[in-house]
Structure 1
Amino acid sequence: MLVACLDVGSTDTKLAVVDVGDGTLVATASHPTTAGTDVLDGVDALLAGCGPVRRVYCCSSAGGGLRLAVVGQEALVSADAAHRVALSAGARVVHVAAGRQTPDGLRTVRAARPDVLLLVGGTDGGDPDTLLHNARRLAAARWRVPVVVAGNADARDEVTALLTARGLPVAATGNVLPRIGVLDPVPARAAIREVFLRHVIGGKRLSRGPRFARLVSAATPDAVLTGVGLYADQLPGDLLVVDVGGATTDVYSALVPDETAGAAVAGRLWRARTVEGDLGVRWNVDGILAAAAAEKVTGGDDTLGRAAAACVVAVRRHARAGRDLRNVVSVVASGGVFRHAEPHAAAAALAPTLHDHAGGWALPRAPHVAVDRDYVLAPAGLLAADHPDAAAALLRRHLHRP
């Protein structure tokens, strides 16, 4: 059975046709994203050219993707935990606030123009005062952005009632930090995804009718992280993925849980994503140059050279956020700059990251290196729930080779 997997990006819309019987990649194609008219124009052009399929899966990062702000209780505990969970849900975190919010503080949050607010605070059974205070402030501020409540379970009903009484769309879910040192990303990630699909994607004005909103099932980074996790499950160790884009560089890592690792107050995410909004080879070239200079990283003057510098800086930042990458057995590079490069050139661009002895992080010992040339991580993530075996086979075929 053939299915179509679409990724509607800000620049290009990519199509993969997959036989879900055995995970064979039957065809790929791309089309400039037609955001200037209706994104479905490009989608329909791709679908018309691929032949009949039984089902269409779709993820999207067009229109800026999912912009999310966090309001938490303590900067280094609940707010930090929520920030990491939001990134794992595919969001672009545009602001993080902590503590009892003032009207000026909420104006700063509003100025960041989030699509969704993630409201957290306290462990289950802990002090609910800050969480309730912030909920009252939001209710009084005539807030209109959907709110995901993922804080102290004992205050959840009261917080939800305060916000819904003012007509706010609210999704209440499990606490991101139910106990000190225990990070539970799954409920909040699911709630953020649901809010994105129900309230956000249709409000981006990417399409004139409701069909596009019905078509999309995930934000693109969310689908990619699902694909990363699925591929990691097939490996004998840890996985690192670096996705260099036109506007950002995303780094994903999937680590084998280590029960002997020391406790962290804000918990640990064994599968995580970081986003470097200043590192992009098309729209943020100046950011790459500035960050490379600050980190004393050298790179070439062409696009691939700038991508090499972006990789080094982004992976350094990812590792410094508490990710131990020494047991990585596979490194995957993604993004058009790598897909369109000759294999030897792509390998040369990745070499500075894999030999970054000055970066202050523990390097992988001897990882296998591959380029996601056929862009299968997002399609695999889209297929993982309905066709996990096909998705896993798709990844094995296309990421086990350089």
Structure 2
Amino acid sequence: MKVDVLVAEIGSTTTVVNAFHNINSDNPIFLAQGQAPTSVLDGDVRIGLQGAIDDLCSRNHLDTLEYEEMLATSSAAGGLKMTVHGLVYDMTARAAKEAALGAGAIIHDVTAGKLRRTDLARIKEINPNLILIAGGVDYGERDTAIYNAELIRSLGLKTPVIYGGNIENQEEMKLIFDKDSGVTLYIVENVYPKIDDLNVEPARRVIQQAFEEHIIHAPGMEHVRDMVNGPIIPTPGAVMEATKLLYECIGDLIVLDVGGATTDLHSVTDASDEIARILISPEPKAKRTVEGDLGVFVNMRNIVNVIGKERLAEELAPMDLDHVMETYKAIPKTEEEKRFVERLTLEAVLKAVERHAGKIRYVYGPSGRSTLAEGKDLTQVKYIVGTGGALTRLPHRVEIMKEITKQNANGLLLSPGEHAKILVDNNYIMASLGVLSKKHKQTAIQLMEKSLDYKLV
């Protein structure tokens, strides 16, 4: 059989392949899905890719499967590891961090101000895939970014560097990271060009471009281009692309992805006029947060501790909680395991939303109490979307997400209310559609509509 497009999601443990057909018609079709263990650590990503294709064929009784085009997302080998270095933490460093997170990076270190020896040792130990240097508004402070760039060059890492700081430093950066440095330099618009002005989208685009150009040289990924002939972007970045595409169709939304190790939350929404007037610092329209302690398998015990083991045992009685925790293996199979994982997923969802949402603050001064807001305003959100294994497969996934609409205490900037529409990525293909939208935008929208079972305007 021949199909138009295969999209591979190369994960840290599993490679999934989704097949799409009739992509240039008014009725594109999601045909089937296959999966196999990821083989990057075996030294050749093609083994896992072919295994996933073979699994797809086996499930659908196909002898062979040919494809015109293969695209990919990847979080294998630790995903896109980045370090970020700015001038002031609440300004340029935070802007650079937002750019990296939105592109799908896993940020291992953020520094503000001049790098110290301990910072340099940490960068060397992390050995990131990309380094982002920022600092200084345009035509403002220059010296810190130059100082940091020279120290980073002295490490001799050969790691690609993206510079997104003061525009006046661009020529200096070209001199520091010249041909003799062996470092590929990408120069982008300043992520914080003036006070209270975030400009993260240009950096996000270049981060994904740099990832694609350099991932093919990573151990185990050297032969990926033998099979993948289209774009390759970080998996979380692909989910963000799908989220932004959905925003174009239906407006303000959040997308939740509860996984075995982490919980990701993507939001695309502007602050209300009321909140915008009292925000103490700007927020990106498209924001991603990663909760590294909220996972329903790898970090299962951490969520149990957050809930409280005694309380959880009471809630799930007469379940033998200790037995379920010992025997549960990544994908819940028994009714007891499903109940257990649903409770963990609920806690992960509520905690992730609480951390993502901004808050109202009260400040007291000579003229009395002032009301301020900090963080991301989610009060305009109209849609809550679930993707990932837990929120697309658990029996009570919709009820879990509905609990978000009831969380408005403690001054949180969150009020979707009972009117918020809950949508589920039933085919579990949002990441695939994010990368597919890079070349086939309208097709991605049509396939998203089918997966969500919801008419997109």
TM-score relative to the length of structure 1: 0.90
Question: Is 1:150 equivalent to 2:171 in the alignment?
Answer: no
| Deviates further, 157-166 or 58-67 | 157-166
Where structure 1 has 5 or more consecutive residues not aligned to the other structure, the ranges are: none
- 2:213 maps to which of 191, 198, 201: 198
TM superposition shift of 1:267? 3.5
The residue matched to 1:77 in structure 2 has which SS? Answer: helix
TM superposition shift of 1:290? 4.1
Which position in structure 1 is the counterpart of 2:36? Answer: 32
Q: How far apart, in 2, do the equivalents of 1:212 and 1:96 lie?
A: 35
Matching residue's letter, 2:375: G
How many residues align? The count is 398
The residue matched to 1:283 in structure 2 has which SS? Answer: coil
TM superposition shift of 1:43? 1.5
| Deviates further, 117-126 or 53-62 | 53-62
Change (3 A) 1:23 1:147: farther
Where structure 2 has 5 or more consecutive residues not aligned to the other structure, the ranges are: 322-339, 359-373
Matching residue's letter, 2:17: L
Identity of aligned residues (%): 29
Q: How far apart, in 2, do the equivalents of 1:297 and 1:197 lie?
A: 44
TM superposition shift of 1:127? 1.4
Change (3 A) 1:308 1:25: farther
Which position in structure 2 is the counterpart of 1:379? Answer: 432
The residue matched to 2:427 in structure 1 has which SS? Answer: coil
Q: What root-mean-square deviation, in Å, do the aligned CA atoms of Structure 1 and Structure 2 show?
A: 2.7
Matching residue's letter, 1:102: R
TM superposition shift of 1:373? 1.8
The residue matched to 1:76 in structure 2 has which SS? Answer: helix
- Max radius of gyration: which structure? 2
The residue matched to 2:194 in structure 1 has which SS? Answer: coil
- The equivalences for 1:297-312 within 5 A come to 302-312=340-350
Question: Is 1:336 equivalent to 2:389 in the alignment?
Answer: yes
User: Could you tell me whether the CA contact under 8 Å between 2:87 and 2:144 is conserved in 1?
Assistant: yes
Which position in structure 2 is the counterpart of 1:53? Answer: 67
Superposed CA deviations along residues 243-298 of structure 1, whole A, max 9, x for unmatched, are: 011111100011147677238676431111111111111211233234445xx999
Change (3 A) 1:77 1:15: same
Which position in structure 2 is the counterpart of 1:326? Answer: 379
Which position in structure 2 is the counterpart of 1:370? Answer: 423
The residue matched to 2:404 in structure 1 has which SS? Answer: helix
Superposed CA deviations along residues 324-381 of structure 1, whole A, max 9, x for unmatched, are: 2122111111111222222xx1123323333224464222121111221202312221
The residue matched to 1:324 in structure 2 has which SS? Answer: coil
- The equivalences for 1:138-217 within 5 A come to 138-164=152-178, 165-206=180-221, 211=226, 217=232
Q: How far apart, in 2, do the equivalents of 1:23 and 1:257 lie?
A: 36
User: Could you tell me whether the CA contact under 8 Å between 2:70 and 2:227 is conserved in 1?
Assistant: no
Superposed CA deviations along residues 175-206 of structure 1, whole A, max 9, x for unmatched, are: 11111122112221122112211223531434
| Deviates further, 319-328 or 362-371 | 319-328
Matching residue's letter, 2:28: T
Matching residue's letter, 2:7: C
Which position in structure 2 is the counterpart of 1:22? Answer: 26
User: Could you tell me whether the CA contact under 8 Å between 1:177 and 1:266 is conserved in 2?
Assistant: no
Which position in structure 1 is the counterpart of 2:247? Answer: 232
Question: Is 1:281 equivalent to 2:285 in the alignment?
Answer: no
- The equivalences for 1:260-271 within 5 A come to 261-262=276-277, 267-271=282-286
TM superposition shift of 1:394? 1.3
Superposed CA deviations along residues 45-90 of structure 1, whole A, max 9, x for unmatched, are: 3335273332111111111110111011111100011111100110
- 1:313 maps to which of 351, 354, 361: 351
Matching residue's letter, 1:318: H
Which position in structure 2 is the counterpart of 1:100? Answer: 114
TM-score relative to the length of structure 2: 0.80
Q: How far apart, in 1, do the equivalents of 2:312 and 2:186 lie?
A: 43
